[in-house]
Structure 1
Amino acid sequence: MAQQARWIWYPGDFDIWLSNKVQNRRTEKSSFFPVFWKMDNHYVLMDFHKVVNLQQPEEITIRAEGTYNVKIDARLLPGAPEKVLVPAGKHKINVKVFCQEAVPSIYISGKTIFSDSSWLVTFEDKEWIDETGKTSDISATNYLHAAYGNFTNPTQPPSAFKLPVSPQHAIREEVTPRTRLIDFGRETFGYIRLHGLQGSGNLTVYYGESKEEALSANGAETLDQLHIQLADKQDSVMPLSKAFRFVNIVADGNVSLDSVSMLYEYADMPDKGSFTCSDQELNQIYDVARYTLHLCSREFFIDGIKRDRWIWSGDAYQSHLMNYYLMNDNTTVTRTLYALRGKDPVTSHINTIMDYTFYWFLGIYDYYRYTGDQHFIRQNYDRMKSLINWVLARRNKDGLLEGLPGDWVFIDWATGLSKKGEVSFEQLLFARSLETMALCAKLVNDPEGAAYNDMAVDLRKKLFTYYWSDQKNALVHSRVNGQPTETVTRYANMFAIFFDYFNDAQKQAVKQSVLLNNDIQKITTPYMRFYELEALCAMGEQGYVLKEMKDYWGGMLKLGATSFWEEYNPDASGAGHYAMYGRPFGKSLCHAWGASPIYLLGKYYLGVQPLTAGYSTYLVQPALGGLQWMKGEVPTPAGNISLYVSARQIRLKAPAGTGTLRVKSKTPPKGTGISVTNKGENTYDITIQPGREYVINYTAI
């Protein structure tokens, strides 16, 4: 592949800079509504360098975002040269850039010299000159490899980045002399365009995810207010993109307009994965989940498109997992992880939420599993270490975590859910985070990795010493003043199943005493339904989960949902479905965590998941769960794994890696040239080699 110059910058800086722009676009009514956690910024002064060894002189062209200078072998060149002749031989090129408004970045192109990730960067080079003119020792300077995105045009620097838009039109309108109610047919996101605007007076645009919201002057969560003084007709585009299906435009004075359309704003993330099956309702659920995830996949994986439009770690963690089975867009994953982590020093939990700090670590763990990208781990390890060390310093005398002043212990939106004391769910996520640190420490050869592993082992033991109840066959919810409470909730118990922290007997006990027990407080948010259904799938309950998906997500479809919601309570009625946070339309009707069927269907029905990093080895364990047939594509770093499954036949092809197809069959599976291992209890493993199409005949149980 031919080399190509790219705009490059310090790792994470573009992501943090862009997140500041994105997360400060939120409005409530028409007022600016900023985040309530610490916002970091990019480093304003950056040193880029590379050592080259040329067979012959080479001219390079230099562009920079900011004020810059250039050195060749520590010799400062006059001015800010756009073209530099690098002599033959071995030379060190330095470009130092200062920029406050945007991220200091450079674009360098020549015959063999290109700006790419081979360049090293630092925000402090520690270089000075003593009284004799001798340059200082800069061996203590910490360098990282430059980061880059898909910015290959020398005239379009990273600060020019914008999401693409495309024009779209309404499907119906209701017009009166002073109002115009427009329906775009389904949930959407973008900029309203007013065509032929004219007159003198005021115009208000009320946005609604529902018709009721758009018609509620007092209840609509978002709106735009304009004062019009136009003698001649003009077109106008609203300054901020918004979420809506319905738009209600109310004018006074003699303001008029000809028509209304929109510019649909989207992130260009083509689908790589897919799923279809014999159940048409499930296909519709998958399609709406896919659309929901796309709407919430923008510059970053955000929570929802109407209200917050912020980067919440818990929401983003689920989007990452869904993304691995749909778009497999790793750039958006890493951009989101960088933005969430920010810069040192650490002063609070991510988003101020204790569990959200741990979801960030879990996101790192899963990113490595699905991609095998060690480079990202190496670039971020110091940030991981400073964050986990901050958490470790907040442990109590028993080595556990409880909410301290400034901490938000979230877990889930659930009525009456206690956050007091040492909550078992938080200790469980903490243990997984320490396991992540141990894994990553090993990848970067940090000898402290053994200590992280020891802490994780110790914490897992405490989970069962302090929280396991033989009487309740479950982990209890919390300890208060050193004593376990009697309350059992679903959270820690379901996570412990797919984290594989329980033994088989404990898993079966928890399934009956917690997951299938209606006396345990039910979960009403898609956020935690994600994990509840994952735990059941991990226990082989795909038939039960299929019914739950059809009831829960199908219930939203029956109410006319065109994207999936932040919360769904089947017992609500009418416009009561739209209320949340004490506001009649406070609920998001397009929330990323509502799209979890994408992940469940890919990982637990098609049954595809990596066993080792980047799918070098992987498992395919399909489960029809009552479906007659299903087929789909699961993205991997090397391409798609293609799969068709019925009760009698499986067809499978994978592009790379070594796979294990695991099936339950009444009779031994048959196929041409296959290697079958009988695992007992009607379970068989078949080795899958890359590039070959397998046709397996079996009799599903």
Structure 2
Amino acid sequence: MQNRRTDRGSFFPVFWKVDSHYPLMDFHKDCNLSQPEDVAIYAEGKYNVKLDGKLFEGTPTTINVPAGQHRINVKVFNQASVPTIYVKGKTVVSDSSWLLTFEDKEWIDETGKTSDVSATKWLNAGSWNFNSPTNLPSQFKLPVVSQSAVSTTANSTSRLIDFGKETFGFVKLHGVKGSGAMTLYYGESKEEALSKDGAVTLDRLQFSNVSKQDSTMPLSKAFRYVNVVMEPTLNLDSVSMLYEYADVKDRGSFKCSDEEINRIYDVAKYTLHLATREFFIDGIKRDRWVWSGDAYQSYLMNYYLFFDSPTVERTMAALRGKDPVTGHINTIMDYTFYWFLGIYDYYLYTGDKSFIKNFYPRMQSMMEYVLGRRNKDGLLQGLPGDWIFIDWANGLSKKGEVSFEQMLFARSLETMALCADIVNDDRGKTTYTKLSDDLKKKLFSLYWNSSKHALVHSRVDGKQTGNVTRYANMFGIFFNYFNDAQKQEVKQHVLLNDSIQKITTPYMHFYELEALCAMGEQDYVLKQMKDYWGGMLNLGATSFWEEYNPTKKGAEHYAMYGREFGKSLCHAWGASPIYLLGKYYLGVKPTAAGYATYTIEPKLGGLQWMQGEVPTPAGNIQVYCSTTQMKVKGAAGKGLLSFQSKTKPICKEGVIEAKGGNNYTLMIEPDKAYTVRYKAK
């Protein structure tokens, strides 16, 4: 998928290591049958079948498995595409309970004795979409649906087609007649589509004596506008498209008294839908790649909109690739850490241990690579081949030991300790916990500057630099690494301080606003959302951009990377209001894995009312909140509603507890509706 990107018609591949699939896989299933069973077997690739270690002749398509305890092995070789099997019996079927390995370590000695295979690592098989013998995984394609253009502006040699909003798919030409050359210039903006030299994507076609021919372009593209330029010897009836999409469903929702916020939420949803494909990708026009930093934010938005775990799992697996580790994920140090953080959050939101058990060995080898690159002080700094990204920001120093990288490193070590506990690696848990604790102490002993009331940006040659940036400081708030006094210092002297370099990307604005929400600044954040995301809408955005600087004018907004139209106008990290509104306004967040326990802390932030749903593994949590009334209904798990009220609140369905200082709580039982009458503070 990542190699479908084109730039001006040229193939444009990723610049990091690309791993192929393992060509030889051994699948097995242990079963205990009460009666004999015929089991049909299909595979993509050459295969053989064993029952209890005995090889069947030939390539059987059906085997008979007697009653009793048995092991079925199917070994598949396929160099061209991923080895897969489809198994269909009465009780023995292909599902994720099958185990598999790419090396079974089996050998036979001179006496005919089969070797001990206890060193073989077996993992659970993936079981997504091989649901019939004819539904081959190698032929997988995302679904499409026909869509028509909104308007067409034509002259003798060109047609400017407008599809009304940012979209993604295959352009379809109808009724092409004649001979000659035709070029399709795609544009996320009208200016890009009309720029023959500047359009990032295009298709060049040649027709010879065709009569009313229809043609569908071979590669999907991102666009709103398509400028069809053709020689006078060609004619064209019309242009439509096949909209390509991932079939994920909205489970979360949000609506409120502010119509601009409702628009922002709806456009954020559409942006995330467009950037959700086989994996979570960055943007749909330019890169179309799986970037770890972008994907990490998509995971979080996903938990408040789709709650689609398989796409998270596939994306994390694709990012990690195979051993041995030869570089950071996407070559970026911080993106390696976002990969670890994604696993931490995945477990918190889903409670799913199976992915962690499968991936723990690759987590270990990834962390071993990172630990091996520490300097004499146990800190990380850029080494040859490392890209220290952090953010797109003018003049941002990446020299020395950057505090932001150590912050993410500490959280990644915490993730390793958590996962070590899940897989019963006691030694690993002890080691990673100590490493994390030591690094957190160094963060404050080496980077905290009491006169600046913040962590400084970096150390160079063993000394603090005088520069303070927002990055490590805002992450320290929602990682809960600061004490209460430090949080207040950081809020006043960094987050609300206009003299600290401002953030212009939605990517880091996401974390800045999260930190402010975590500090109870929902009123301020609501104004920021209206200014920033509302500013894009006021400029005609139909999806949210990679970067937005309100000081720019006209087509300046489309430029980036030294290119006139280099900026992505549909970027996943622009959809963060989905997450902010679900977690910090509706106020729903898990406090134990898989929402076994959770909190609901509604914050209107200046709104008159809001309502919405937040998905969990076992149903949706429903929240309505106005200035005088709250209605909540929980899903599975134990919930705790926390709120403030100027007057004594009333609830007939439960017992409200006063916590002092106008603070109150209410326990939420599963599938029970509660109405609370109160007065917002």
TM over 0.5: yes
Displacement after TM superposition at 1:253 (Å): 5.0
Counterparts of residues 191-202 of structure 1 (less than 5 Å) = 191-202=170-181
Q: Decide whether the 8 Å contact of 2:129 with 2:135 is kept in 1.
A: no
Displacement after TM superposition at 1:148 (Å): 1.1
Displacement after TM superposition at 1:230 (Å): 3.2
Equivalent residue number for residue 234 of structure 1: 213
SS of residue in 1 equivalent to 2:22:
coil
After superposition, what is the alpha-carbon deviation per residue over 1:460-483, rounded to whole angstroms, capped at 9, x for unaligned? 000000000000000000000000
Equivalent residue number for residue 95 of structure 2: 116
Q: Decide whether the 8 Å contact of 2:338 with 2:408 is kept in 1.
A: yes
Is it true that 1:472 corresponds to 2:452 in the alignment? Answer: yes
Q: Decide whether the 8 Å contact of 1:201 with 1:255 is kept in 2.
A: yes
Is it true that 1:245 corresponds to 2:224 in the alignment? Answer: yes
Equivalent residue number for residue 5 of structure 1: none
Q: Decide whether the 8 Å contact of 2:403 with 2:443 is kept in 1.
A: yes
CA distance in 1, matches of 2:343, 2:216: 39
Alignment gaps of 5+ in structure 2: none
Counterparts of residues 618-637 of structure 1 (less than 5 Å) = 618-637=598-617
Is it true that 1:166 corresponds to 2:145 in the alignment? Answer: yes
Is it true that 1:616 corresponds to 2:596 in the alignment? Answer: yes
Counterparts of residues 59-458 of structure 1 (less than 5 Å) = 59-447=38-426, 448-458=428-438
Q: Decide whether the 8 Å contact of 2:645 with 2:678 is kept in 1.
A: yes
CA RMSD of aligned residues (A): 0.8
Q: Decide whether the 8 Å contact of 2:653 with 2:675 is kept in 1.
A: no
Q: Decide whether the 8 Å contact of 1:197 with 1:230 is kept in 2.
A: no
CA distance in 1, matches of 2:441, 2:580: 30
Give the 3 Å change call, closer, same or farther, for CA 138–674 of structure 1 in structure 2.
Answer: same
CA distance in 1, matches of 2:11, 2:458: 38
Equivalent residue number for residue 676 of structure 1: 656
CA distance in 2, matches of 1:590, 1:51: 47
Equivalent residue number for residue 31 of structure 1: 10
SS of residue in 1 equivalent to 2:305:
coil
After superposition, what is the alpha-carbon deviation per residue over 1:384-410, rounded to whole angstroms, capped at 9, x for unaligned? 010011100100000000000000000
After superposition, what is the alpha-carbon deviation per residue over 1:245-304, rounded to whole angstroms, capped at 9, x for unaligned? 000000115121111000000011110000000000100000000100100011110000
Q: Decide whether the 8 Å contact of 2:176 with 2:210 is kept in 1.
A: no
Equivalent residue number for residue 529 of structure 1: 509
Is it true that 1:541 corresponds to 2:508 in the alignment? Answer: no
Is it true that 1:585 corresponds to 2:562 in the alignment? Answer: no
CA distance in 2, matches of 1:163, 1:60: 30
1:511 aligns with one of 491, 502, 508: 491
Displacement after TM superposition at 1:93 (Å): 1.1
Which amino acid letter does the alignment assign opposite residue 290 of structure 2?
A: I
CA distance in 2, matches of 1:297, 1:230: 40
Equivalent residue number for residue 18 of structure 1: none
CA distance in 2, matches of 1:415, 1:449: 40
SS of residue in 1 equivalent to 2:549:
coil
SS of residue in 2 equivalent to 1:124:
coil
State, as a whole percentage, how many aligned pairs show the same letter: 69
Q: Decide whether the 8 Å contact of 1:206 with 1:249 is kept in 2.
A: yes
CA distance in 2, matches of 1:54, 1:271: 40
* Comparing 51-60 and 207-216, the one that deviates more: 51-60
SS of residue in 2 equivalent to 1:148:
coil
CA distance in 2, matches of 1:578, 1:284: 22
TM-score normalised according to structure 2 size: 0.99
After superposition, what is the alpha-carbon deviation per residue over 1:13-48, rounded to whole angstroms, capped at 9, x for unaligned? xxxxxxxxx100000110000000000111100111
SS of residue in 2 equivalent to 1:234:
strand
* Comparing 344-353 and 226-235, the one that deviates more: 226-235
Which amino acid letter does the alignment assign opposite residue 551 of structure 1?
A: D
Is it true that 1:661 corresponds to 2:648 in the alignment? Answer: no
CA distance in 2, matches of 1:408, 1:130: 49
Displacement after TM superposition at 1:492 (Å): 0.3
* Comparing 57-66 and 85-94, the one that deviates more: 85-94
Displacement after TM superposition at 1:200 (Å): 1.4
SS of residue in 2 equivalent to 1:642:
strand
Q: Decide whether the 8 Å contact of 2:402 with 2:457 is kept in 1.
A: yes
Q: Decide whether the 8 Å contact of 1:668 with 1:684 is kept in 2.
A: no
Equivalent residue number for residue 492 of structure 1: 472
CA distance in 2, matches of 1:472, 1:209: 43
Equivalent residue number for residue 45 of structure 1: 24
Displacement after TM superposition at 1:370 (Å): 0.5
CA distance in 1, matches of 2:366, 2:210: 58
Equivalent residue number for residue 533 of structure 2: 553
Q: Decide whether the 8 Å contact of 2:129 with 2:137 is kept in 1.
A: no
SS of residue in 2 equivalent to 1:618:
strand
Q: Decide whether the 8 Å contact of 2:86 with 2:130 is kept in 1.
A: no
Which amino acid letter does the alignment assign opposite residue 605 of structure 1?
A: Y
CA distance in 2, matches of 1:679, 1:362: 33
Q: Decide whether the 8 Å contact of 1:197 with 1:233 is kept in 2.
A: yes
Counterparts of residues 11-26 of structure 1 (less than 5 Å) = 22-26=1-5
SS of residue in 1 equivalent to 2:276:
coil
SS of residue in 2 equivalent to 1:147:
coil
Q: Decide whether the 8 Å contact of 2:653 with 2:674 is kept in 1.
A: no
Displacement after TM superposition at 1:151 (Å): 3.1
Is it true that 1:686 corresponds to 2:672 in the alignment? Answer: no
Displacement after TM superposition at 1:669 (Å): 1.9
Displacement after TM superposition at 1:668 (Å): 2.8
CA distance in 1, matches of 2:219, 2:283: 16
* Comparing 344-353 and 109-118, the one that deviates more: 109-118
Displacement after TM superposition at 1:86 (Å): 1.3
Which amino acid letter does the alignment assign opposite residue 349 of structure 2?
A: Y
CA distance in 2, matches of 1:595, 1:188: 15
Q: Decide whether the 8 Å contact of 1:370 with 1:610 is kept in 2.
A: yes
CA distance in 1, matches of 2:474, 2:619: 32
Q: Decide whether the 8 Å contact of 1:202 with 1:253 is kept in 2.
A: no
Equivalent residue number for residue 7 of structure 1: none
After superposition, what is the alpha-carbon deviation per residue over 1:82-121, rounded to whole angstroms, capped at 9, x for unaligned? 0111122222211100001111111111111111122111
Equivalent residue number for residue 9 of structure 1: none
After superposition, what is the alpha-carbon deviation per residue over 1:526-570, rounded to whole angstroms, capped at 9, x for unaligned? 000000000000000000000000000000000000000000000
After superposition, what is the alpha-carbon deviation per residue over 1:413-439, rounded to whole angstroms, capped at 9, x for unaligned? 000000000000000000000000000
1:564 aligns with one of 519, 544, 569: 544
Which amino acid letter does the alignment assign opposite residue 553 of structure 2?
A: S
Equivalent residue number for residue 16 of structure 1: none
Q: Decide whether the 8 Å contact of 1:394 with 1:401 is kept in 2.
A: yes
Which amino acid letter does the alignment assign opposite residue 257 of structure 1?
A: L
